[in-house]
Amino acid sequence: MSNQSYRDSQFLDGLSGEELFSMQIGLTYRDFLVLPGFIDFNPSEVELETRFTKNIKLKRPFVSSPMDTVTESSMAIAQALMGGIGIIHYNNTIDQQVSEVSKVKRFENGFISDPVVLGPKNTLHDLDHIKETQGFTGIPITQDGTRHSKLIGIVTNRDIDFERDRSIPVERVMTTEVITGKAGITLKEANDIIKKEKIGKLPILDKDGKLVSLVSRSDLKKNKDFPDSSKDENKRLRCGAAVSTLPESRERVAALYEAGVDVIIIDSAQGNSIYQIEMLQFIKANFKNLEVVGGNVVTRGQAENLIRAGADGLRIGMGPGSICITQDTMAVGRAQATAVYQTAAHAAKYDVPVIADGGISNIGDIANALAIGASACMMGFMFAGTSEAPGEYFYENGIRLKKYRGMASIEAMKAGGDKRYFNEGQKVKVAQGVSGSVVDRGSILNFIPYLSLGLRLSFQDMGFRTVQDLHKGLREGKLRFERRSESAQAQGSVHSLYSYSAPSLRAE
C-alpha cells in the first residue's frame, strides 16, 4: 500500500470544519481538537510560509499587535528578522510613529539610498544622538551635511571612542581616506569589497564624488544569520503601522507612506463602519501599492463590507484578548474560533487572507487558528513579556515582569488609545480593557524558533506540510475536528498529580 493510499484511506471520524461551526454556539480554540492525520514527513519538512495580505508573504505566520506595550521598532525589527512582521502602534505623534517605522526600514538594507549623513561642523554630540536614537554608527560626512553632496570623510566608533570632549567637530576626528564604490556597482560587488577591505561601511559615489548610497557590513551578517527575514523589493525589512479612522489619520498615512511602510492596519475595535470604509477607499485611491488590512470584524457581513471597500487582508477578533473586556462590558462580540472560521470561509471566496487577533496563549491556539482558516496570527500577550517589547522590567514577589495593557484600558486611553473606539472625545471613559503584567519571556530571537518548532510538530500530527495544504484540507473536508466537553478539556490538560512543574514560555 503506497503512502498516498495510506493518506487517502480515511474513515472519516469527527466533523468537517463546516459541520463543526454550523452549530449555533460560539466556539473558542479550546472547545475542539483537530483529529490526527497520517505522518509521512519530518517536522523539518513543514513550511510555515503564508500570506499576510494579498501581496505580502511571510515565512512565519506571526504578527505582533499594534499595542503600546508590544510593538515599537525593536519588536518590529525582531519580528521581520525572524520571518514575521510587527505593526507599530499609534499611541504617539505622527513624527514619533514615522520615526519608529524609519528605524525598521533602515535597519537592514542592500543599498541604503537615504543614509544618515553629517557635515564637517557637526559635533560628536550629534553622533552620540544618532547612535542613541537610531542605533547605528559609521556616518558619512559630506561637504554641506546633506545627502547627494560630495563625500569628504566618514566617522566610526574607532574615531571617537576615546574622545572625552564631545563638543569638538567631526572634521577633527573623521577618516578622510575612505574606501568607496562606484555608482552602478552590484550588491555582490559591494559586499566583496567590504569583505576584502575589512570595512564596516562602503559609501557609493557618482562620477563627481557625490554620495549616492551606502552598503553596511552588518547587513551581510544579518543576511547570513536571518535567511527567512521579511523584506520588501528593496531588501529592507518589512514593517506595518496602525492608524485610526479619525481625520488626522489621513495625514498620518501619508507620512508613513513616505517613510516606506509596507502595510497599514486600520485599527478599530468594531471595523464595520462608514468611517473605516471611507478610510479604506481613501488609502487605496491615493497610495499606490500600499497594502491595507481592515478590521476588526467577526462576521461574514462585516467581512463583505470591508472586502468590497478594498481591504487586502482582514483582522479578526472582538473581545477574546487576555486584557480585553469588550464582550463583558458591551455585550457585543463573538467567540474567537467561530469568528475566524466564518470570516475566513467568506474571505477565501475573494482570495483575501485573514489574521486571527486575540485569544492566543500557546502553540496549540496558533495551530487551531491556522487550521480553521487563518493565514497568520496577531499576538499581544504572547510577545508582551519579551525583551523587544516596550517598557522596563520590574520585579513582583521575585518574578521578573513587564507591563501589558489593553489599548482600551483607562491608562492607555489617556495616552490616545481611545482613537480606535467611536467615543467622540467624551470626558467620561468606559474601559474595554485592563492593565496588567506578564512574565519575562526572553528575546523574540529565541522565542519565535520555539513557537515555530512547536507549530511544525503540530502540522506533522495533523498530517499537513504547509499552511496552504492545511486550508485545502479544511475546504475539502479532509481535515477533521471533534468538539470537546469541559471534562475532556480538563483531562486534556495536566491533572491528577500531587504537584508538577509547568513548562515555561520563556525562550532561553
Report, as residue numbers or ranges, the catalytic residues.
Answer: 324, 420
Higher-pLDDT residue of 150, 321: 150
Q: Which residues are annotated as a binding site?
A: 267-269, 317-319, 321-322, 324, 357-359, 380-381, 404-408, 432, 486-487
pLDDT digits over 387-405, tens only?
898 887 778 887 777 877 6
The mean pLDDT value for 153-165 works out to 80
Same domain for 288 and 305, yes or no, is yes
Segments forming the whole domain that contains residue 408:
11-107+230-491
pLDDT > 50? residue 121: yes
Total-model pTM:
0.75
Which of 225, 259, 277 marks a domain boundary?
Answer: 225
Contact 109, 235 (CB under 8 A): yes
The answer for residues whose C-beta is within 8 angstroms of residue 137's C-beta and 6 or more apart is 127, 130, 131, 155, 156, 157
Same domain, 235 and 194: no
Domain shared by 215 and 88, yes or no: no
Q: Which long-range contacts (CB under 8 A, 24 or more apart) does 502-506 make?
A: 505/362, 505/382, 505/439, 505/441, 505/447, 506/385, 506/439, 506/440, 506/441, 506/442, 506/447
Q: Which range scores top for mean pLDDT: 132-146, 225-239, 244-258, 414-428?
A: 244-258
User: Is 502 domain-assigned?
Assistant: no
Does 412 lie in the same domain as 343?
A: yes
Q: Encode pLDDT of 342-364 as tens digits.
A: 999 999 999 999 999 988 999 99
Over residues 425-469, the pLDDT tens digits come to 555 555 455 567 777 888 898 999 999 999 999 999 999 999 999
Residue 6 lies in a domain: no
**Judgement on whether residues 355 and 481 belong to the same structural domain of the protein:** yes
Residue 415 lies in a domain: yes
Whether residues 302 and 416 fall in one domain: yes
Q: Tell me, what DSSP letter sits at residue 504?
A: P
Output the pLDDT for position 372: 98
Q: Where are the alpha helices (DSSP H) in 210-334?
A: 217-225, 248-258, 274-286, 300-308, 326-330
Count structural domains, the chain.
Answer: 2
Q: Is 496 a domain residue?
A: no
Residue 505 lies in a domain: no
Q: How confident is the model at residue 165 (pLDDT cuts 50, 70, 90)?
A: confident
The residue among 171, 199, 225 that closes a domain is 225
Q: φ, ψ for residue 62 (rounded to 5)?
A: -115, 130
Q: CB-based contacts of 243: which residues, under 8 Å, 6+ apart?
A: 90, 249, 252, 253, 256, 264, 265, 266, 267, 279
Rounded CA-CA distance 79/449 in Å is 11
CA 460 – CA 84 distance, rounded (Å): 21
Contact 97, 256 (CB under 8 A): yes
CATH of the domain at 308: 3.20.20.70
Of the three residues 175, 203, 225, the one that is the final residue of a domain is 225
Report H helices in 166-243. Answer: 187-197, 217-225
State pLDDT tens for residues 37-71: 999 999 999 999 999 999 999 999 999 999 989 99
Is 293's pLDDT higher than 80? Answer: yes
Q: What is the CATH number of the domain that holds 129?
A: 3.10.580.10
Query: 62: how many CB neighbours lie within 10 A of its CB?
Result: 28
Domain match, 141 and 23 both: no
Looking at the structure, do residues 306 and 237 belong to the same domain, yes or no?
yes
Q: Does residue 310 carry a pLDDT above 60?
A: yes
Torsions phi, psi for 305 (to 5 deg): -60, -45
Asked whether residue 288 falls in the same domain as residue 407, the answer is yes
**Residues 256 and 182 placed together within one structural domain of the fold:** no
In-domain check, residue 498: no
The number of residues making up the chain comes to 508
Q: Mark whether 78 and 182 lie in a shared domain.
A: no
423 lies in some domain: yes
* Model pLDDT for residues 64-112, shown as the tens digit of each residue: 999 989 999 999 999 999 999 999 999 999 999 999 999 899 876 667 7
Residue 289 falls within a domain, yes or no? yes
Same domain flag for 403 and 299: yes
What's the pLDDT at 409?
A: 46
Higher pLDDT, 463 or 181: 463
Chain CA centroid to CA 25, Å: 32
DSSP state of 439: E
Q: Say if residues 253 and 241 touch (Cβ distance below 8 Å).
A: no
Task: Output the nine-digit C-alpha cell for 275.
Answer: 468611517
What is the average pLDDT value for the chain, to the nearest integer?
86
